[in-house]
């Protein structure tokens, strides 16, 4: 195990990773580092390149150029070492559906030359919830239980780095919350977690996040810093005719951009001088009724929208 | 490590519910039904007779033909055109025309003339029918010659060559003896070529392959764990085949069982190697099924299962030379019927070993991290 090299302070390190599928550039010069024991979130819409990045880091595919290391091992030269020490939970449920819960767990334990008993402590909290169903076939489990089993299987060999590719996609809100609770516990046990998600609201639960779009990282920072670096003032605007309002706001010279956001429109205003009253008057003149404007704190999603516009 | 992979593999096969039944039912079905249904022996040919003579001899001849059991008199026509009509309608397959004064000419030693014409749309049926009919007629001819021979003139009879034919290795020309060993090859091919490929592609589709890839399991280990179960299944299936061949057809190989097992072991390795190669290139089950189907059709058509390779054109013989099925079929038929030993089948042995090495090397090399 003295193969560990100097880079080993960071759990994951990527240097200008490029990957092209035929004509599509999936990843364009991705650079980032993940500290040990950190929950690092990769936040971005579908098709941004999240899964491709995961597959490169878990040694399933090769990057076209650039270097990457996981736990101090190069993904190309030392892939065998990496495979011994990472846990990977793909976005799609991919365990043996015709084996039972216990058989799946047992199988993955033996594949990694270990036993359930040896690392039971690590998975106890998660596995206990599905243990009553241990003789049920994995294919017959509910979505939330499948996810817990998949996480248990990914953890059974006590990996040093855990890769979770969209673990909460298609999972109900309660289970999602529970799931993030489990990740916090795993972090406490010293496991580095790289997690991707299309849900912006989960970003604030990570230690640091990277916003990704079209194969490029827009920003890497803590969720707090990203929000505080929001450049403009953000207003939530509402009126009776929301569709006309959106078009008017976008056409207006007073605003820099505007997005529909639930039952309100989030408007980013750049000029310092612009007051709320000023905007209200303008909208009044355009014939809007029941106008309501409030200044609000930006969320990660607002930051993402603004960054992705650049 | 391999122990756990194998345990998982067997658990999956046994839990499938469908596969284990298939492994028994499929060979039984093929071996029990097919040899009875498909036969080259031509029986029940429909005969149309045009008797222009209406004499004792012509009636004797017709009677003799019908009592041979190969022919069924379905039509009696007054002239050739009428008889041809019955062929066109599909009522008869072969016409026998007896000319007027047939008996008279025979008795006067002028020799009789008979016309046979057969429907050759199915060439095999036509020519075999023709042969049967001619041999019955020449047999009858011999009888007539003896009848007409003046008593006491036995010494100056025309010398004739007597032919004693003997069919070696399959004395009764039993079609089933020929087919059953070849059918065993087919069953082995379908089960051991198909199943490992399907099993690997299923893992690809389900994503479990990816989970295995992100683990210390090496690719040769994974492939071996896929091969061994089907190897064992192959042995079970061929043993079922032996049992059925003996119990139902009374067939016991003239050679040693051990030589068959030896060749089968190599053959299964070769054919499942091909299955693995296919699984490496197919992304979905549908693709895999189609590619396997394509190869199986080609292999079976050019294997000598139905039509002998020797009568194929040169180019087809070349394709057949690269067909593992053909080689193993030769082996099975030789051991079952002739009792050949592996030394006498050295060419086939070398060919099968070659295929096994070639396909499995290709399988390991092409099993790569794609993209």
Q: Searching chain A, which residue's CA lies closest to the CA of residue B8?
A: A107
Maximum CA pair distance of chain B? 98
Helices then strands, counting H and E runs in chain B, come out as 14, 4
C-alpha distances in Å from residue A24, one per residue of A20, A21, A28, A214, B22? 6, 5, 10, 10, 44
Across chain A, what does the average pLDDT equal? 87
- Average pLDDT (A219-239) is 86
pLDDT grade for A202, boundaries at 50, 70 and 90: confident
Mutate to test the interface with A, among B17, B20, B211 (most CBs of A within 10 A): B211
CA A94 – CA B210 distance, rounded (Å): 8
User: What percent of chain B is modeled with pLDDT above 90?
Assistant: 22
Q: Comparing C-alpha atoms, which of B323, B44, B308, B24 is closest to residue B178? A: B308
Per-residue pLDDT at A3: 45
C-beta contacts of A124-133 below 8 A and 24+ residues apart: A125/A182, A125/A185, A126/A151, A126/A152, A126/A155, A126/A182, A127/A152, A130/A101, A131/A101, A133/A101
- pLDDT tens string A78-110: 988 999 999 999 988 889 999 999 999 999 999
Closest by Cβ to B211, choosing from A80, A94, A99 = A94
CA distance B306 to chain A (A): 40
Contact residues, chain A, for B211 at CB < 8 Å: 88, 90, 94-95, 108, 153
- pLDDT tens string B49-99: 998 888 888 888 899 888 888 888 888 888 888 888 888 888 888 999 988
Sketch out chain A's domains with CATH numbers: 6-227 (3.40.50.300), 230-309 (3.30.70.100)
Per-residue pLDDT at B350: 94
- Average pLDDT (B10-19) is 86
User: Would you give the distance in Å from CA A50 to the centre of its chain?
Assistant: 8
- Asked if residue B335 lies in contact with residue B259, where contact means CB atoms within 8 angstroms, the answer is yes
**pLDDT higher for B148 or A194?**
A194
- pLDDT tens string B89-139: 888 889 999 888 888 888 887 777 888 888 888 887 888 888 888 888 888
CA A110 – CA B8 distance, rounded (Å): 11
Contact residues, chain B, for A63 at CB < 8 Å: none
- Is residue A22 helix, strand or coil? coil
Per-residue pLDDT at B130: 87
The predicted model scores a pTM of: 0.77
CA distance A132 to chain B (A): 21
- Average pLDDT (A29-45) is 91
User: Would you give the distance in Å from CA A11 to the centre of its chain?
Assistant: 17
What are the boundaries of each domain within chain B? 2-38+173-366, 45-156
Closest by Cβ to B15, choosing from A90, A98, A108 = A98
Mutate to test the interface with B, among A22, A27, A60 (most CBs of B within 10 A): A60
H or E, element range at A24: strand A24-35
CA A302 – CA B182 distance, rounded (Å): 72
Contact residues, chain A, for B206 at CB < 8 Å: 94, 96-97
**pLDDT higher for A235 or A152?**
A152
pLDDT grade for A33, boundaries at 50, 70 and 90: very high
pLDDT grade for A2, boundaries at 50, 70 and 90: very low
Per-residue pLDDT at A310: 67
Per-residue pLDDT at B151: 58
Secondary structure of chain A: what % helix, strand, coil (to 5)? Answer: 40, 30, 35
| pLDDT at A1 exceeding the cut of 80 | no
- Asked if residue B148 lies in contact with residue B110, where contact means CB atoms within 8 angstroms, the answer is no
DSSP letters for A119-130: THHHHHHHHHHH
CA A125 – CA A185 distance, rounded (Å): 9
Q: Does the distance separating the beta carbons of B1 and A60 come in below 8 Å? A: no
- Average pLDDT (B306-321) is 86
Query: B45-156: which CATH number, 3.40.1710.10, 3.40.640.10, 1.10.1040.10, 3.40.50.1370?
Result: 3.40.1710.10
| pLDDT at A9 exceeding the cut of 80 | no
């Amino acid at each position: 195990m003295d193969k560990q090299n100097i880079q080993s302070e960071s759990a994951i390190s990527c240097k200008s990773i490029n990957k092209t599928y035929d004509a599509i550039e999936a990843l364009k010069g991705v650079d980032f580092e993940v500290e040990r024991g950190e929950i690092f979130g990769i936040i971005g819409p579908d098709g941004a390149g999240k899964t491709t990045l995961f597959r490169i880091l878990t040694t399933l595919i090769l990057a076209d150029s650039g270097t990457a290391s996981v736990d101090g091992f190069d993904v190309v030269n030392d892939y065998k070492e990496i495979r011994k020490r990472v846990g990977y939970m793909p976005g799609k449920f991919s365990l043996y559906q015709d084996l039972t819960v216990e058989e799946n767990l047992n199988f993955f334990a033996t594949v990694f030359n270990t036993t359930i008993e040896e690392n039971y402590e690590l998975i106890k909290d998660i596995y206990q919830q599905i243990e009553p169903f241990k003789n049920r076939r994995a294919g017959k489990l509910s979505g939330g239980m499948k996810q817990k089993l998949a996480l248990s299987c990914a953890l059974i060999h006590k990996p040093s780095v855990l890769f979770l590719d969209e673990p909460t996609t298609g999972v109900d809100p309660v289970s999602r919350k529970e799931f993030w609770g489990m990740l916090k516990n795993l972090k406490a046990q010293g496991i580095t977690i790289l997690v991707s998600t299309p849900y912006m609201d989960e970003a604030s639960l990570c230690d640091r996040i990277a916003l990704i779009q079209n194969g490029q990282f827009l920003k890497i920072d803590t969720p707090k810093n990203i929000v505080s670096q929001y450049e403009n003032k953000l207003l939530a605007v509402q009126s009776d005719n929301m569709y006309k309002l959106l078009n008017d706001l976008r056409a207006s010279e007073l605003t820099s951009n505007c997005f529909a956001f639930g039952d309100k429109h989030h408007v980013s205003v750049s000029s310092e001088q612009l007051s709320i009253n000023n905007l209200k008057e303008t909208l009044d003149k355009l014939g809007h009724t029941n106008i309501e404007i409030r200044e609000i704190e930006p969320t990660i999603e607002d930051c993402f929208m603004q960054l992705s516009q650049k | 490590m391999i122990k756990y992979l194998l345990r998982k593999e067997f658990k999956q096969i046994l839990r499938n519910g469908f596969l284990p039944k298939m492994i028994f039912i499929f060979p039984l079905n093929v071996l029990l039904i097919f040899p009875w249904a498909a036969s080259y022996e031509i029986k029940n040919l429909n005969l149309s007779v045009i008797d222009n003579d209406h004499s004792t001899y012509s009636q004797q001849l017709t009677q003799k033909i019908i009592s041979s059991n190969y022919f069924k008199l379905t039509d009696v026509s007054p002239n050739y055109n009428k008889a041809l009509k019955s062929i066109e309608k599909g009522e008869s397959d072969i016409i026998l025309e007896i000319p007027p004064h047939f008996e008279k000419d025979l008795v006067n030693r002028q020799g009789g003339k008979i016309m046979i014409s057969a429907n050759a749309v199915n060439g095999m049926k036509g020519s075999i029918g023709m042969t049967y009919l001619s041999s019955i007629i020449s047999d009858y001819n011999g009888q007539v010659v003896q009848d007409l021979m003046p008593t006491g003139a036995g010494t100056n009879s025309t010398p004739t060559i007597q032919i004693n034919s003997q069919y070696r290795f399959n004395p009764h020309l039993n079609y089933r003896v020929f087919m059953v060993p070849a059918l065993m090859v087919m069953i082995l091919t379908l089960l051991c070529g198909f199943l490992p490929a399907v099993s690997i592609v299923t893992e690809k589709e389900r994503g479990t392959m990816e989970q295995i890839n992100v683990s210390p399991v090496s690719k040769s280990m994974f492939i071996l764990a896929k091969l061994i179960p089907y190897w064992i299944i192959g042995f079970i299936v061929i043993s079922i085949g032996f049992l059925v061949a003996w119990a139902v057809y009374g067939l016991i190989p003239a050679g040693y069982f051990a030589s068959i097992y030896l060749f089968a072991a190599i053959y299964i390795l070769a054919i499942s190697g091909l299955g693995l190669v296919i699984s490496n290139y197919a992304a979905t089950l549908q693709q895999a099924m189609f590619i396997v189907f394509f190869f199986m059709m080609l292999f079976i058509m050019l294997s000598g299962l139905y039509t002998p390779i020797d009568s194929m054109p040169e180019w087809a013989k070349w394709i057949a030379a690269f067909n593992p099925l053909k080689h193993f079929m030769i082996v099975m038929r030789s051991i079952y019927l002739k009792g050949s030993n592996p030394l006498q089948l050295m060419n086939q042995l070398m060919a099968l070993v070659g295929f096994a090495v070639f396909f499995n090397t290709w399988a390991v090399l092409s099993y790569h991290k794609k993209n």
